[in-house]
C-alpha cells in the first residue's frame, strides 16, 4: 500500500528533499536556459515521469557546448548520490537531547555537514571556467570604455 511505501522510504531516509534536490534543480535550470524547454518534456505528465525515472535525457542540437552538456548530465542523474557535488555535504540526524520524551523526534531538523570545500567541485567545472575568463575580459573592456567617457 501507499502507507507502507512511505514508511519504507522514511526508514531508508530517502523521503524528502536535501541538497541533492537543489543540484537537480540547477541542472534543470541550466538545461532550460540553453534549450528553452524543460529537460524531460513529454506530451503527458506520466510520460514525463517515466523519462525522469529512467533518466532518459537526450542532447538537443541547441546545446552545442560540450562543457554545458557535461555539467547538465552530471547534475541530472537519477540517483541523487551520483550527482556532481552530492558528496560535498552530508545530512545527519540531529541527535541533540532535548530532555523530552521523544514525541517530537520527527520535528527535529537534520544537520548538514560540509565536506572539503563545499561546492568547489561545481565552481571548478570547465563550464564555469570558460565563462569566468569571458566575464573578466568584459570587465576590462567596460573599464576601458568608462575611462574613455571621462574625456567626452
- Alpha-carbon distance 20 to 80, whole Å? 6
Which of 2, 3, 77 lies closest to 39 in space, CA to CA?
Answer: 77
Nearest to 120 by CA among 79, 87, 80, 74: 87
Please list the pLDDT of the chain residue by residue as tens digits (152 residues): 456 655 655 555 555 778 899 999 999 999 999 999 999 999 999 999 999 999 999 999 999 999 999 999 999 999 999 999 988 877 777 766 555 555 555 556 777 677 777 788 899 899 988 666 555 555 555 555 445 544 44
Amino acid at each position: 500500500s501507499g502507507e507502507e511505501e512511505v514508511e519504507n522510504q522514511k526508514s531508508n531516509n530517502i523521503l524528502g528533499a536535501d541538497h541533492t534536490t537543489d543540484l537537480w534543480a540547477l541542472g534543470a535550470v541550466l538545461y532550460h536556459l540553453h534549450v528553452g524547454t524543460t529537460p524531460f518534456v513529454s506530451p503527458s505528465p506520466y510520460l514525463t515521469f517515466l523519462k525522469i525515472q529512467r533518466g532518459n535525457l537526450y542532447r538537443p542540437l541547441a546545446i552545442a557546448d560540450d562543457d554545458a552538456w557535461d555539467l547538465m548530465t552530471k547534475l541530472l542523474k537519477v540517483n541523487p548520490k551520483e550527482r556532481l557535488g552530492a558528496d560535498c555535504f552530508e545530512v545527519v540526524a540531529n541527535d541533540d537531547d532535548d530532555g523530552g520524551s521523544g514525541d517530537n523526534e520527527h520535528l527535529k531538523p537534520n544537520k548538514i555537514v560540509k565536506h572539503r570545500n563545499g561546492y568547489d567541485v561545481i565552481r571548478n567545472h570547465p563550464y564555469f571556467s570558460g565563462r569566468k575568463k569571458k566575464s573578466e575580459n568584459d570587465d576590462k573592456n567596460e573599464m576601458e570604455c568608462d575611462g574613455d567617457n571621462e574625456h567626452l
